[in-house]
Homo-oligomer: A and B are copies of this chain.
């Protein structure tokens, strides 16, 4: 099984209310050095296959299920092979 990390972020042009709330809360707590905050998703997948297969399949998974391409962007990193 290979581990893949998929990073899903809101597109730059999309307002991120959750990020704005986090930023406001950080400011209230005294973290005034914080500028922009954006909150996205980290999807950790374990899957089998060769490097090339995995790359192609993960792209497809993102397109059909994991990512809302209208408002989100994604990238992924194929990591180390986990045990078994």
Known: A42-B42, A61-B26. A33 touches B48 (CB 8 A): yes
A41 at the interface (CB under 8 A from B): yes
Known: A65-B22, A65-B26. A31 touches B43 (CB 8 A): no
- Contact string, A23-40, partner B, CB cutoff 8 A, digits 1/0? 001100101011111111
A47 at the interface (CB under 8 A from B): yes
**CB of A26, distance to nearest CB on chain B (Å):** 6
- Contact string, A41-84, partner B, CB cutoff 8 A, digits 1/0? 11111111100010001001100111000000000000000000
Q: A9-B44, A22-B43, A26-B65 are in contact. List 6 more A-B contacts (CB 8 A).
A: A19-B44, A25-B65, A35-B46, A35-B48, A37-B46, A41-B41
